[in-house]
Structure 1
Amino acid sequence: MRARRLCAGAPFCGGESRYPETLVTRLQEASDAGLYSVVVSSPAQLSRLPEHLPWHTATPPVRVFSSGAPLALAHAQLAERLLQAPVIEIYGSTETGGIAQRRQTRRSSWQPLPGVELSFQNGSLSLRSPFLEMPQQWWHQPDQAAPADDGFTLLGRADRLVKIGGKRVSLDHVERILTAVEAVREVRCVDLDRADSRLGAVVVLDKPSIPHQRDARQNLIQRMRENLSDHLEPIAVPRYWRFVETLPSNAQGKLDRTLINRLFADLDDPKVPRWLGEHPLDANSRLLTLEVPERLVFLEGHFDQYPLVPGVVMVQWAIHYAHDIFGHRGLFLGIERLKFTRALMPGTRFTLQLTRREDGIAFSIDSQEGRHCTGQVRLQTPKGGQHG
């Protein structure tokens, strides 16, 4: 995209707009300079545009391009409403370049880009394209597709088969069954490469259906398994479940292996909470969604009849994630304004808000029940300088 704009003599912003506030500023700068702007984004960024920012103060961009993964219709509608511009999705890959485009608010099918020739055989997609290294040869794309409206619709990957207990299991099939369950918006079934060979499932739910306590979570898992048991052998039913409001995604808008490993990291590390996603509040603040695993090692001894997360562990989690997100913040100097107001129980879903300060971090832990803990941690480098 940048190369084409350079060839066309069009200026572009070389820096990334990691936060919505930065994007608003860039649009305003282009508007003030009398320039028409084009926004190039991944679905992850477009899905998180906040309503409260002053999008209306700048001249709307001519187009908004989204690439890297399919954009949910609701997110396309939100982006078009806030940015007042058509959102064009680009479908393709590193090997093929652009294949097709769509404006999902107008129609859901994909339309091939100029010069791209398509073929559909046995449900799979093949193409010839001027963007390929060998333009005259047919390229077989690992996606299933069906012709529709002078274009095509995507039906999922053609190669998502795994062996579980010696039996072939289609991850697409598992996802389709789960997506039919009430309140389920999206599912990613994943092979975790564990010794037991069992699958994991990342399930996007409507917000009111998200489980916040242990019993609700267990009941939901049981309901999911019952829906699958009518269609799958027991070995193919996922054993490990993560319930989220949106799929965590990388800069390209994809749920990659790094994020999958992070979602299920507590299976191998009994000292960490379940990580279910995070998003920036501003340049210095981050909000993480976490869950207390029932097998958390720190629950032992606190207490046999009433297990709870020790306060020191909550503080340590805040420091750990602050180092992970903001970079190493330095040596521990002390805690100020520390206050515990509510016990944190196994199975509880909670948020950890972190704010970077000149002398360390501020944090707060909250759940659906209310606030559990808040405080400020002072940190300093070994040489005596303070981190900003």
Structure 2
Amino acid sequence: MKKLIPLSRWLLDVADNQSIAIENETIIIKAQVSAKVAMWQTILPLSPGQKWAVYHSDAIEFFTLLLALWQSGCTACVPGDNCTATVERLKTSVTGFLGEFEQVSYQYNSIKQVTNQPASWVEIERSFPAIEVYTSGSTGEPKPIKKTMAQIDDELCCIETLWPFSERSIVLSTVTHQHLFGLTFRLFWSLAKGRLLLTKHSAFSEDIYHLASQYDQFILISTPAHLKRLNHQLNWPHLQGKCEAAISSAAPLQYEDSQYAANLLHAPILEIYGSSETGALAWRNQTKVKADYWTLLPNVTLDETDKGFIVKGPHITTEYQTLSDNIESLSASNFRLHGRTDRIVKVEGKRLSLSKMEKCLEQSTWITAARALVVTKKREEVAIVAELNNKGRALVQQHSQKWLAARLKESLRTSFELVLLPRRWRFVSTLPYNQQGKLPMESLQALFETTEVKWPQELARTHIDDNTWRFSFYIPKELIYFDGHFEANPILPGIAQTHWAQHYGKDVFAFEGLFCRLEAVKFQSVIFPDAEVELELEYDPIKRKLTFQYSSKKGVHSSGKICFE
């Protein structure tokens, strides 16, 4: 079994012919990375002590930039996104921007087009500040966190001690390396171990399934947001025995979600608890037993002080870190979590400062005060309760609440990633304070308690013949699928139409089988709220195909075939 190679010596110790990554089914070897690093050192005006912002969707292109900076004594600032507001915040503290920023000055070709150039490499000192990541503090302002080369290498040793997985496993991921979890577990650990990784991460479970089918063995780096939404209609038994493990972070997995993912992947779901300040701290595995407690990683200690619980370890940023979670200590190495003590939340696995979002909204000339919260509907969503001033109320009278919400949402785009933008809004004349002058979370949550409408109203169903049924539906405007699709002119999404066809088809034809693919799908005319439509379904049991067609007095809206395995 291969030993870990410290990233501080990666250019020195990894053989030039070592395969390190896969890009579009093409193997990338270490010599190509070395040549690219040498090229960057020639092109870039690098000087020791500089700090450069790096953002790139390709993991190996990103890594070559890091290596070039490290070899030149420069720190890599790794922001979580390349939004306009992020660039504005960083431009006074960095020398320049590298990678996929709009204002990047240094262009380059694909890594495969770079010829080998001889270069002499140096070992990076353990005390060297290798990266700087940013997270949100309790005040809502982004907080820089520096990681030394020693902290990076020591954390990788800690993880490897706990999980010495095979170097033969291909690393698949739904997580980007621009966030610390993906940077550590997907990129750094793979490169230090000599484990092949894909240069691009995958956004959908269908992509993960397709890629996993091509390899004998894989490890999945993912998040609760992805694992709990794995498409159960794919033929996961086909992958049985291939997944060595799935590693999840960003938020705790519900026990039911952990079981769901483990059953589909036929592999343990290993959860990591930590933060940008601390790195990985603890882990748990709920695959076999409902474990509501966490176990500290090797060489990490947890102690209670009068200021709260603190953790210490070789890869902790300072001598110790005070945790912002409510902790129940069970033993020297085990503890339970009972929620956060600050107003930083996780939405779809991404960290969001509710305070920062509130401050951004309160800068509007239409709002007196705003409160942000997370509500759980079909998924976790950011919601806003806003107290309008006279200007805001006048705009609602002139236009509508939807119009105002759309404008406010647009104003947040430069400061927050798309997945974090509010999806639900309530405009009030006064925030719901209680008699004690406090704003109970229950009062805010109550403003969003409505019954979700997921299905059309069935007016009639007719059995035409053995293989054909016809339904008459009314499409209520309260359907959850109209929310945000689209703001000004809601229409019924095509995915909802195919989902309904599959649901009602299995209901009346009583067939079994996993979804395989769609054929000959056409969306010819949109379906609006309050419409009345007919759905005709025809099932071919031999070909295992369900043909559907939505129509109304306006003609055919959509049609296609759903194929099953």
TM-score by structure 1 length?
Answer: 0.50
TM-score, normalised relative to structure 2: 0.35
Structure possessing the higher radius of gyration over alpha carbons: 2
